[in-house]
Amino acid sequence: MLANILFPINAEAFTYIVPEELESEIRRGSRVTAPFKKSLRTGVVTGFAAEPADKSKTLRPIKSLLDDEPLVPGNILRLIRWVGQYYMSTTGLALRNAVPSALFSGKTPGKPRITYAGDIKKQETPVLTPGQRRVLKEINRADKGVFLLHGVTGSGKTEVYVNAIESLPPGRQAIVLVPEIAVTVQIIDRLRSCFGDKVVFFHSGLSPGERITYWRKMRNGEARVVIGVRSAVFAPFENAGLIIIDEEQETSYKQSDGLRYNARDVALARAKLEGLKVILGSATPSMEAFHAARRGKFRYLEIKNRVDHKSMPRIEIIDMTVEEKQTFSLSNKLINSLKENTAAGYQSLIMLNRRGYSPFCICADCGHSYKCPACSITLIYHKDTKTLNCHYCGSHLKPGDLCPNCGGAKVRYLGTGTQRIEEELNALIPELAVRRMDGDTTRRKFSHYSIIKEMEDKKIDLLLGTQMVAKGHDFPNVTLSAVVSADIALNMPDFRSAERAFQLFIQLAGRSGRGDTPGKAYIQTYEAGHYVFDYVRKHDYKGFYEREMIQRRELSYPPSGRLLRIILSFRNRDAGEKTVAAVSKKIKKIRHTPAGKEADILGPAPAPIEKIRNFWRWHIILKGKNSRKLRERASVLLEEMKGCRGIKIDIDVDPVNLM
């Protein structure tokens, strides 16, 4: 008897002999230990074979069986295989992303050290609005299919999610995906109020032992709902009935390195494989999702009004080129409004999508700027640690008082990050209780939870942070929200920059006015004439979609077309340029073949961020109408590059970031 064993490495399954004493016990999905090279590895049985694929190789026997019952169910093994194939990777890497690494490293289950939401508190069940009841009726009468739930901010999408889960047939389970941990706090409390300890919170911040415990709880049917970020899409439920993707437009659902899968698209694939329902929820849907709904691929559900018909916040665009201001980033109008809002007993939110103190450090005498030696980007100054940090590779250095280039003393820190805004606000409004929420203040376990709870308990007057403050939170006492330095989002060198800016501004504005008092939102910009603001002022998503689609159709960019990106990385720049030149010649030949005509091949060209972690980067972008044909064309290119030495190749199918 032979078994195919998959290890969590960049490879496909290997064939082993099943010892006679294990033949009656071993099953698909069971973990085993088997000799691999000169050591023993833990892998998963993916199937059985009558004879080896390569008869010339000597097969070795499995060493031991680790599970009485299969740990990875068959539906997850099928999903893992799909992920490896679709994203042009390997099934082994897909396994590594899907199943907790602790299950392959000999770790033992651990009891959660901290409860993530304290005691379970029964919340009052709100009466559904007519809009909520209408969309819920549509969802509940279907057995499967994809629904795009387009509800304005504050329309009560979370209640639709909860009721849809409650309406599932007995024994059916639900997966709830959120874009980041910070968004989960309030939705976890709501779910636990309904489903008690049948709710599992699954994310990368858990310890290895905790991840094993929760995985087994899901696998054994002890959980009814799992809520988590990206990897929760692989929850080992065998009787799932519903997958919910909250804030479906968020790019954080896409893994940025390694196997670059998109959890939203994997959820759609899982639903198709298993016959599930999917709810894609958003106030500002991705253009791809809205386009699919327009074409009838998804069922479109809309909630146009807030709960209790509360008014949408009034959005005002502040032109910083003419506005009187206290600092480069804070207008008098915003400062005065913050003071008035706090004096009236209300809370405020400010978003600046750049952490740190200053994004640019330069010598005023010679113009020398501090750049990361491993990446082609400037280092960001963090005043709390007095270091210059690279947000890509994590390196940092302590700047001296004198310029390392000319010895001058006129070293200046330019630009603004959340730390500087916090400092300026504390100086301008010392009576304001400011709390910052960004990647620097939320490193510790459950730090998000404590900040959100302080905000709910009204211990904070102003919550300042990066885009994590703009998503999913429901603070009824917030009546003022503001975007500082909106130009950061508008000026990214990516065709999606306008779409992301629109989404971010509407999401941030939507945090305001959810209680009984109407809200207002300020967006400060030095580019007040940008077309995005014409639609932001009016909360006009559909108008923005139509405007943006004109350009997308002309250039065949998603959703009018599909993209695939091949990233070529080299340790040595000169050697890389020679290899890229050789690759360019091969691509020119391919362009004139039938295969080349089915996809536009752009590049190779230097990537916008040319160097990351000491690798020099070029990229090739394939553009076409059909994803399968793009992958076939990419395979042809990869075959041509097989003989190239000193090259690292990454494949990004359906990229969301071209940097």
Higher per-residue confidence, 331 vs 202: 331
> Is the pLDDT assigned to residue 515 strictly greater than 70?
yes
C-alpha closest to that of 83 among 279, 258, 239 = 258
pLDDT of residue 181: 76
pLDDT(618) > 50: yes
Domain 310-356+416-554: CATH class, spelled out: alpha beta
pTM for the structure as a whole = 0.94
Residue type, 441: T
Distance between CA atoms of residues 130 and 160, nearest Å: 12
Rounded to an integer, the average pLDDT of 586-601 is 76
Task: Give the integer Cα–Cα distance in Å for 620 and 568.
Answer: 8
Q: How many residues does the chain have?
A: 659
CB 372 within 8 A of CB 508: no
From CA 425, how far away is CA 433, in angstroms rounded?
Answer: 10
Q: What is the pLDDT of residue 598?
A: 73
114: pLDDT confidence band, cut at 50, 70 and 90?
A: very low
Q: How far is CA 271 from CA 147, 159, 240, in A?
A: 12, 22, 9
Which of these, 255, 254, 191, lies nearest to 226 by C-alpha position?
191
Task: Please tell me the distance from the alpha carbon of residue 93 to that of residue 84, in angstroms, as a whole number.
Answer: 7
Helix (H, G, I), strand (E, B) or coil at 27: coil
How many angstroms separate the CA atoms of 606 and 657, rounded?
15
Which one is predicted more confidently, 154 or 443? 154
- Percentage above 70 pLDDT, the chain: 96
Q: What is the pLDDT of residue 597?
A: 65
The band of 117, judged by pLDDT with boundaries at 50, 70 and 90, is very low
Q: Which residues pair with 5 in a beta bridge?
A: 14, 45
Distance from C-alpha of 217 to C-alpha of 603, rounded to nearest angstrom = 48
Which residue, among 468, 459, 471, has the nearest Cα to 440 in the 3D structure? 468
- Residue 331 per-residue DSSP state: B
The reported pLDDT for the residue numbered 115 is 47
Q: Which residues are CB-neighbours of 456 under 8 A, at least 6 positions away?
A: 475
Q: Of 206-210, 424-428, 486-490, where does mean pLDDT reach its minimum?
A: 206-210
Asked if residue 596 has pLDDT above 60, the reply is no
pLDDT tens digit string along 194-229? Answer: 999 899 988 877 888 889 999 999 999 999 999 999
Q: What is the pLDDT of residue 180?
A: 83
Strand order in the sheet with 380-382: 380-382, 387-389, 396-397
pLDDT above 90 as % of the chain: 76
pLDDT category of residue 109 using cuts at 50, 70 and 90: low
Q: In terms of pLDDT, which residue wins out, 561 or 53?
A: 561
Task: Identify residue 625 by its one-letter amino acid code.
Answer: K
Among 46-55, 188-197, 476-485, 570-579, whose mean pLDDT is lowest?
Answer: 46-55
Question: Residue 87 in contact with residue 261, Cβ under 8 Å?
Answer: yes
CA 397 to chain centre: 29
For CATH 3.40.50.300, the residue range(s) in the chain are 130-307, 310-356+416-554
List where CATH 3.30.70.600 sits in the chain. 562-653
pLDDT digits (tens, 9 = 90+) for 30-72: 999 999 999 999 999 999 988 877 777 889 999 999 998 999 9
130-307 CATH: 3.40.50.300
Mean pLDDT of 480-496: 91
Q: Which fold has domain 2-104?
A: GIY-YIG endonuclease (3.40.1440)
Span 583-612, mean pLDDT? 84
The per-residue pLDDT for 112 is 56
Residue span(s) of the chain under CATH 3.40.1440.60 come to 2-104
Tokens of residue 200, six digits: 């599992």
State which CATH number among 3.90.1150.10, 3.30.1540.20, 3.30.70.600, 3.30.420.40 fits the domain covering 562-653.
3.30.70.600
Q: Examine the pLDDT at 86 and tell me if it is beyond 80.
A: yes
Which of 520, 130, 123 minimizes the C-alpha distance to 306?
130
Averaged pLDDT of the chain = 92
In tens, the pLDDT along 286-311 reads 999 999 999 999 999 999 999 988 99
Find the mean pLDDT for residues 586-594.
77
Residue 635 has pLDDT above 80, yes or no: yes
